[in-house]
Structure 1
């Protein structure tokens, strides 16, 4: 099982641009999302992320380089996993329940919460999901598309957990890159998944996450 220590860092949001936020995250280690878990989907774009917290918010900076980009969904809780999409699944109660936080290249978000049993999962209200701020960039160079997104996730979105301070919490989770509706579908993870078919909703394969 992979483990991740998320450092504390104060990041100002008064100038909410990609350049301003990425500069403040400079120096944080980059973590790879490189596990190809299913042989029938071998395509592996280059995907890395940085992550930090300020006790009340989680900051995730994804960097993606891939052959194709797709950005169809513009409304909250639409099927963003079919677009160029990055995801963060996290549990604060020992994997009894977890949140799936999914964002496409446009910054369109989807969040579900509940147990691993599908009928027990629900989507959060759009007003709650809209509390997550995002900023993105896209560069097309030499036939390779590179895009970045920074997510600012306040603890308010973890509606089933009363989190007053992230510091000192040990959680479990996984980070993903997917694109179900792209010409080359792919399903990459940070922590390895051992399952017969593509499925990210498997908390048994979450890694340990410690908020410093």
Structure 2
């Protein structure tokens, strides 16, 4: 189980993705998350050279580019739904609140911009940072309450459906014939400490 700690805590845990689905290409991904009085803060490092960035507008299919994703049910007490945060190396996002692949509510561009997304590409890697404000969670989960100690279904992914070498990596492996990240039964668990 991954532990989300308060921002500024010592020893912030990391998730390292090196397991990929049948591709032969497996860039190392490092993910960490913390919380503050504002919301949850996500940080990724993707050790991938020359990431593909073709999607330039929010709500486009960024999973076709070099893409990092965090799916999480932030309030398992009040909902079975989860947010999928999908972003390319240009900081362009496709985000929804959903029950599964098909039952979803896309976030507005205004809501996406509230995440203060920051992406930066370097010679051998790229980084992605954003904040999920508590106010945004309350907008989509009216009864949302920040609580410590619960088990939150979640997963972290790296994909690139139309990159030079298509690839799909997972923290909690999805055992399906075709890659499909929108299967909550394969989510791992995260908790807030």
**TM-score of the aligned structures, taking structure 2 as reference length:** 0.88
User: What CA distance in whole angstroms lies between the structure 2 residues aligned with 1:81 and 1:53?
Assistant: 26
Larger displacement relative to structure 2 (191-200 or 149-158): 149-158
**Equivalence for 1:149:** 128
Residue 70 (structure 1) shift: 1.0
Q: Which runs of 5+ in 2 are unaligned?
A: none
Residue 34 (structure 1) shift: 2.0
Match of 1:93 among 52, 76, 79: 76
**Equivalence for 1:132:** 115
**TM-score of the aligned structures, taking structure 1 as reference length:** 0.81
Q: Is the 8 A contact 1:35 1:189 kept in 2?
A: yes
Match of 1:188 among 166, 169, 183: 169
1:69 and 2:67 aligned: no
**Equivalence for 2:140:** 160
User: What CA distance in whole angstroms lies between the structure 2 residues aligned with 1:133 and 1:210?
Assistant: 24
Q: Which runs of 5+ in 1 are unaligned?
A: 11-24
For residues 55 and 169 of structure 1, do their structure 2 counterparts lie closer, same or farther at Cα, with a shift above 3 Å needed? farther
Residue 146 (structure 1) shift: 0.7
Q: 1:73-132: CA deviations, max 9, x gaps? A: 2211111111111001111337732111111111111111222251x2221111111110
**Equivalence for 1:45:** 27
Residue 209 (structure 1) shift: 1.0
Give RMSD over aligned pairs: 2.0
Tell me the number of residue pairs that the alignment of Structure 1 and Structure 2 aligns: 189
Q: 1:55-84: CA deviations, max 9, x gaps? A: 541111101112441111221111111111
User: What CA distance in whole angstroms lies between the structure 2 residues aligned with 1:29 and 1:50?
Assistant: 6
For residues 169 and 126 of structure 1, do their structure 2 counterparts lie closer, same or farther at Cα, with a shift above 3 Å needed? farther
**Equivalence for 1:22:** none
For residues 184 and 68 of structure 1, do their structure 2 counterparts lie closer, same or farther at Cα, with a shift above 3 Å needed? farther
User: What CA distance in whole angstroms lies between the structure 2 residues aligned with 1:187 and 1:44?
Assistant: 8
Match of 1:112 among 96, 108, 124: 96
**Equivalence for 2:3:** 5
User: What CA distance in whole angstroms lies between the structure 1 residues aligned with 2:98 and 2:34?
Assistant: 25
1:172 and 2:158 aligned: no
Residue 210 (structure 1) shift: 0.6
